């Protein structure tokens, strides 16, 4: 059962950031497992169970990150990540062009939401074309997002606008990738079991957005 992330978990991640080497980690691996790894996996399992109950006709696939960096992609980084995350999809692949629900816990903060880790320009061009051909579904989603205060539209903007459509949709149509994010400091919520409720309810709110973006990969150019 998830009982929240402790202050010691945050301290561990800060210490890992500044001592990112194998001897230090091996000496503190038991702390990692107890303070960070086990709570993250427990949180992921409970959120998955909640989503399976709320959406029983969907197949949910969970992936919890490992602490180890890919040795082929270190590029001067230490061998360990200083943050942990999990993702959840209705697709078993790990394709970066498939949107995902996510949770991330880092030394500075934690966050959850839905979007793309990295989307190809071709996919985003298809997204703009679909939205411009029939803007009403995206307008409905944009207004729905504007009526709440948990999630924000996120993603890097193009240096030059790709599209000028309307004040409502222009922020959605001029991003290199799309995410809907909730980022918080290490508050009372992340220290309690109530975080499970917050994430599961947030994911349920984001399901229509997930479905909108997920359908793009099934379309042909």
Which residues are 80's β-sheet partners? Answer: 68
Per-residue pLDDT, 93: 74
Q: Where are the domains of the chain?
A: 7-218
Per-residue pLDDT, 143: 98
Per-residue pLDDT, 91: 83
Q: Phi and psi (nearest 5°) for 29?
A: -65, -35
Per-residue pLDDT, 71: 55
Per-residue pLDDT, 123: 87
- Superfamily in which the 7-218 domain is placed by CATH: Protein of unknown function DUF1054 (3.30.930.20)
CA distance 218 to 58: 17
Tokens of residue 189, six digits:
């919520």
Tokens of residue 129, six digits:
């074309």
List the Cα angle 174/180/182 in 5-degree steps. Answer: 135
CA distances from 90 to 66, 93, 95, 160 (A): 21, 9, 12, 34
What is the DSSP track for 162-215? S----TTTHHHHSBSS-EEEEEE-S-TGGGSTHHHHHHHHHHHHHHHHHHHHHG
Per-residue pLDDT, 76: 58
List the Cα angle 7/10/15 in 5-degree steps. Answer: 125
Q: At what angle do helices 136-146 and 194-214 cross, to 10 degrees?
A: 160
The whole-model pTM stands at: 0.93
Tokens of residue 162, six digits:
């790709």
Q: Which residues of the chain have pLDDT under 50?
A: none
Read off the pLDDT of residues 175-215 as tens digits, 9 standing for 90 and up.
999 999 999 999 999 999 999 999 999 999 999 999 999 98
Per-residue pLDDT, 70: 67
C-beta of residue 100 within 8 angstroms of C-beta of residue 88: yes
Per-residue pLDDT, 220: 62
């Amino acid at each position: 059962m998830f009982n929240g992330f402790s202050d010691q978990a945050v301290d561990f991640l800060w210490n890992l950031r500044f001592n990112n080497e194998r001897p230090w980690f091996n000496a503190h691996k038991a702390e990692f497992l107890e303070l960070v790894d086990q709570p993250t996996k427990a949180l992921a399992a409970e959120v998955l169970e909640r989503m399976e109950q709320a959406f029983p006709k969907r197949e949910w696939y969970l992936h919890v990150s490992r602490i180890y960096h890919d040795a082929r992609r270190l590029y001067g980084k230490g061998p360990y990540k200083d943050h942990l995350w999990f993702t959840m999809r209705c697709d078993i692949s790990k394709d970066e062009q498939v949107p995902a629900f996510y949770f991330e816990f880092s030394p500075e903060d934690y966050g959850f939401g839905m979007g793309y880790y990295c989307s190809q320009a071709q996919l985003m061009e298809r997204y703009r074309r679909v939205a411009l051909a029939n803007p009403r579904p995206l307008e409905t989603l944009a207004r729905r997002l504007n009526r709440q205060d948990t999630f924000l539209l996120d993603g890097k903007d193009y240096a030059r606008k790709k599209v000028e459509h309307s004040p409502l949709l222009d922020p959605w149509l001029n991003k290199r990738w799309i995410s809907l994010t909730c980022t918080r400091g290490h508050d009372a919520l992340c220290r309690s079991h109530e975080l499970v409720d917050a994430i599961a309810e947030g994911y349920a709110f984001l399901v229509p957005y997930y479905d909108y973006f997920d359908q793009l990969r099934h379309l042909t150019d």
